[in-house]
Amino acid sequence: MGKKELKFNSKAIHGGQQPDAAYGAVMPPIYQTSTYAQPTPGGHKGYEYSRGANPTRTALENAVASLENGKFGMAFGSGMAAIDGVMKLLEPGDEVICTSDLYGGSYRLFKGIYEKFGIKFRFSEMVDMDELSSHINAKTKLIWVETPTNPLMNIVDIKAVSEITEANKLLLAVDNTFATPYLQRPLELGADIVMHSATKYLAGHSDVVVGALVVNEKTLADRLYFIQKSSGAICGPMDSFLTLRGIKTLHVRMQRHCENGELVANYLENHPKIDTVYWPGFEHHPQHKVAKAQMSGFGGMISFVPKGGKYEDAIQIVEKLRIFTLAESLGGVESLVGHPASMSHGSIPKEEREKKGVVDALIRLSVGIEDVEDLIADLEQALK
């Protein structure tokens, strides 16, 4: 059986990889080199200079592409560098439509940097497809989707948006950081580009900052490889190795993140001191049906607002948690808690942030893979 036909869990371990040609090393060696000896000018074994390509990075790029069921992968020095690479496909005057509930760093890159270069960003909840279509004009080139969204766990119907991008000849890019290819594969739903902050679930151990893109179309891949090589925001060999090692347990980690996530979400939902819990697995979640159709599970990301919606209460809770560590980021084996208004989404102006629902009392959990009884006991003592 060729590796292309392997099922997902086997692909997490073997996808896009083979033992190293030199000595048969089962794990791709860390090719910690900037350059490669050439017997004659231009005569090389596929690697000339590590900004262009590096064998450890290639192994990671192939593995991520294999998991997303895509043909071409690119690994970057961070998720933001990967998003930056996509934005460099655009030209001054072009317009982008983005999900309105967006990771704060993406918002900062779009509004703080690319707007300066003449690119216009419009925002849509992407729940009503007619409303989304109303933003399209002759200048629109790209639709940027985040689903589930960070931090409100809204769900965008990727297939429905892809019908719009196809009809209007636009590119569709999906930030698949929260779901991972274990739960959702946007290319299979009609997306042109999948993006990852591999820092999170893909690498899974909170020890690297890495980004990735996966595409199926050769011309688009060539344009992105050109940008990657020209701008140089590449993933180094050591981080490529660590991310690859993390990916080998993605499926077992994700399974536990989903199990723990469901138990924690239900615990919070039934807690008298909590008002709203955001988690796409609830039947009452407004886009639950879409989530069920396009995802194979609901993940371990949960946001909630304590009863009364007071900022002071939220701060007390995050400070009292012991196993949930108060820290930026998500998707590692350990449970983390964040306060989006002052942390991950602090770069969005308050008025704009609150309009989207990212209120000062919102708390975000990245539920890890510890014993769930310990996680719930930790929440219980903090909520007292």
Contact positions toward ligand PLP, by CB under 6 A? 78-80, 103, 105-106, 146, 150, 175, 177, 197, 199, 209, 211, 344
The nearest distance, CB 180 to ligand PLP, in angstroms, is 11
Minimal CB distance residue for ligand PLP: 79
The nearest distance, CB 28 to ligand PLP, in angstroms, is 21
How large is the C-alpha radius of gyration of the chain?
A: 21
Identify which of residues 211 and 280 has a Cβ nearer to ligand PLP in the complex: 211
The nearest distance, CB 336 to ligand PLP, in angstroms, is 11
- Given the residues 175, 192, 239, 360, select the one marked as catalytic: 175
Identify which of residues 197 and 303 has a Cβ nearer to ligand PLP in the complex: 197
Identify which of residues 146 and 262 has a Cβ nearer to ligand PLP in the complex: 146
Report whether 212 contacts 64 (CB < 8 A): yes
Identify which of residues 66 and 344 has a Cβ nearer to ligand PLP in the complex: 344
Dist. CA 54–CA 63, nearest whole Å: 14
Known catalytic residue: 103? yes
Dist. CA 120–CA 205, nearest whole Å: 36
The nearest distance, CB 171 to ligand PLP, in angstroms, is 17
Identify which of residues 80 and 258 has a Cβ nearer to ligand PLP in the complex: 80
- Given the residues 51, 88, 111, 229, select the one marked as catalytic: 51
DSSP tag of 342: T
How many beta carbons lie within 10 A of that of residue 143, not counting itself?
28
Residues forming a β-bridge with 195: 175, 213
Burial class (CB in 10 A: 0-12, 13-18, 19+), 127: middle
Give residue 331's identity as a one-letter amino acid code: G
The nearest distance, CB 287 to ligand PLP, in angstroms, is 17
**Token pair 């042109």: residue:** 192
Report whether 175 contacts 106 (CB < 8 A): yes
The distance from CA 195 to its chain's CA centroid, rounded to whole angstroms, is 6
Nearest to 201 by CA among 254, 256, 123: 254
Identify which of residues 142 and 372 has a Cβ nearer to ligand PLP in the complex: 142
Dist. CA 319–CA 283, nearest whole Å: 31
272-305 burial string, b = 16+ CB within 10 Å, else e? eebebbbbbbbeebebbebbbebbebbbbbbbbb
Known catalytic residue: 31? no
The nearest distance, CB 272 to ligand PLP, in angstroms, is 31
The distance from CA 347 to its chain's CA centroid, rounded to whole angstroms, is 18
Known catalytic residue: 51? yes
Q: Residues with Cβ < 8 Å from 305, sequence gap 6 or more?
A: 274, 275, 276, 314, 359, 361, 362, 363
- Given the residues 31, 103, 225, 278, select the one marked as catalytic: 103
Catalytic center residues: 51, 103, 175, 200
